[in-house]
Amino acid sequence: MENSADNFFRGLWKENPVFVQLLGMCPILAVSNTVINSLAMGLATTFVLICSGILISLMRNIIPKQVRIAAFIIIIATFVTVAEFILQAVSIEIHKSLGAFISLIVVNCIILGRAEAFASRNPVFPSILDAVGTGLGFTFALFCMGALREVLGSGTFAGIAVMPAAFEPWIVFILPGGGFFVLGFLLLVVNHINSSLKRRAA
Amino acid sequence: MNTDSHAFIFLSACVVNNFVLASFLGICPFLGVSKKVDTALRMGIAVLLVMLVSSAAAFGINLVLQSFDAEYLQLVSYIAVIASTVQLVEMIIKKFSPSLFRALGIFLPLITTNCAILGVALFQTSREYSFSQSLVFALGAGAGFTLALWLMSGLREESEFADPPKLIKGTALSLMIAGILSMAFMGFAGLGA
């Protein structure tokens, strides 16, 4: 049982796809300008991760080694199309504001990375745990980015004003440049926490 | 300036809405392959080639899909087209310039998962560009990608000699540099719509 808990929690912090493995940077930077967008993107990616993880893990003995990458990509693309239609049905506004980035989940290296490194080598149940952990780790990173950028950049949190009226929004944080700065800053914080944890353990 | 003109589309894709610094497409190679100026340039040119070919192919595919009323297959067929284009470009380069083929090495197959290329194919469809407009758009996007990669690698080569605090070294520093670069590119925003 300890092993399956490990499968789940590994993706959340120790091997967080964004902060530690530096994968999936494009959606992290592009759609994190508001909290709602970040959460929608995170959940859509988690959905694709879980579904493709299950299918790839089930088919891991049928897919020939030579064409596995192509097969994975086709499976992922199918689920991304499904996710796109679901999102369109749930909320047309979020669908519009995420735009092409929903389709671009296909080329999110996190998904292909998990498919290749985990789902194609393990049974279904651990694959699901791994996918959920990784997906939540990704969503967590997106949420941190979205919250920081929205509060500083427009003075709101999920559309509700949280800053005092006298606060002048720092527009730069919702512009592309701010995305790079916030991500750099978050990496710095994560590095700091990890290195002080290591020092305490030693 | 007329927003449909070829010059405008090129300029817009290349600097005003630079794919890397303004639209955040292709960040992975932008951070991964920008350590040395010459590899960065080669990577940029390979991406430009793949973009041109796959943009032309995606245009054709879209016509076929539209005639069958099967646009929901767009994503799956585009990604298949890009993967085979990468193979094709790989074979062409191997045949005509073995030295360039060796220099690019592992970066060539990795172009498949570069989101900038799928981005070009998706944007040209959603903006309903004509065939020549699509090609110019792909050319501009590729040129912009190369430009961003080139600038970034130059800056990173210089920053090798600096001595930053240990915590910020590595990716955090690169991201800060990219942020400043992206702010500089915002200066072009006045050029277009």
Query: Which of A45, A103, A49 is CA-nearest to residue A77?
Result: A103
Measured in degrees and rounded to the nearest 5, phi and psi for residue A14 equal: -65, -40
B121 or B34: which leads in pLDDT: B121
Contact A180 B182 (CB under 8 A): yes
Please state the domain count of chain A.
1
Alpha-carbon span B76 to B74, nearest angstrom: 6
Out of A73, A81, A177, whose CB is closest to B186?
A177
Average pLDDT over residues B83-106: 79
Residue A47 banded pLDDT, cuts 50, 70, 90: very high
Would you call A70 an interface residue with chain B, using a CB distance cutoff of 8 Å?
A: yes
Residue A37 has pLDDT above 50, yes or no: yes
Q: In angstroms, what is the C-alpha Rg of chain B?
A: 17
% of chain A at pLDDT higher than 90: 27
pLDDT of residue A202: 74
A197 at interface of B, judged by CB pairs closer than 8 A:
no
Tell me the pTM.
0.85
Size of interface A-B (CB pairs under 8 A): 106
Q: Which of A73-87, A127-141, B167-181 shows the lowest mean pLDDT across its residues?
A: B167-181
Per-residue pLDDT of B109-130, as tens digits, reads 777 777 888 888 888 888 888 8
pLDDT at B193 over 70: no
| Average pLDDT value for residue range A34-47 | 91
Range of the domain at A62: 2-201
CB B139 within 8 A of CB B114: no
pLDDT band at A54 (very low <50, low <70, confident <90, very high): very high
* Residue B138 pLDDT > 90: yes
Taking only the tens place, the pLDDT of each residue in A120-148 is 888 999 999 999 999 999 999 999 999 98
Contact B149, B18 (CB under 8 A): no
Query: CB-based contact (8 Å) between A71 and chain B?
Result: no
* The pLDDT value given to residue A160: 81
Specify the pLDDT at position B192. 59
**Which neighbouring-strand residues pair with A161?**
A156
Look at residue A98 and tell me whether its pLDDT is greater than 70. Answer: yes
Q: Do A29 and B24 touch (CB under 8 A)?
A: yes
Neighbours of A59 (CB within 10 A): 15
The ipTM is 0.80
Output the pLDDT for position B106: 67
Q: What residue of A is the nearest CA neighbor of B27? A: A26
DSSP E strands: which ranges in chain A? 156-157, 160-161
Q: CA A133, CA A151: separation in Å to the nearest integer? A: 27
What share of chain B in percent tops pLDDT 90? 13
Please return the burial class of A156, using the count of CB atoms within 10 Å of its CB with bins 0-12, 13-18 and 19+: middle
Reported confidence tier of residue A41, pLDDT bands at 50, 70, 90: very high
**Which residues of chain B are within 8 Å of residue A172 when distances are taken between CB atoms?**
183
Residues of A numbered 96-115 whose beta carbons fall under 8 angstroms of chain B's beta carbons: which are they? 100, 103-104, 106-109, 112
Amino acid at site A150: E
Those residues whose C-beta lies under 8 Å from the C-beta of residue B142, and which sit 6 or more positions away, are B44, B47, B48, B49, B51, B52
Q: For a pLDDT cut of 70, what percent of chain B falls above it?
A: 94
How wide is the angle at C-alpha B84 spanned by C-alphas B78 and B87, nearest 5°?
Answer: 145
Q: How confident is the model at residue B3 (pLDDT cuts 50, 70, 90)?
A: low
Mean pLDDT of B154-183: 85
pLDDT-based confidence at A4, cuts 50/70/90?
A: confident
User: A157 pairs with which residues across the strands?
Assistant: A160
Q: Look at residue A1 in the predicted model and tell me its pLDDT.
A: 43
- pLDDT score, position A138: 92
The torsion angles phi and psi of A166, rounded to 5 degrees, stand at: -75, -10
pLDDT computed for residue B122 by the predictor: 87
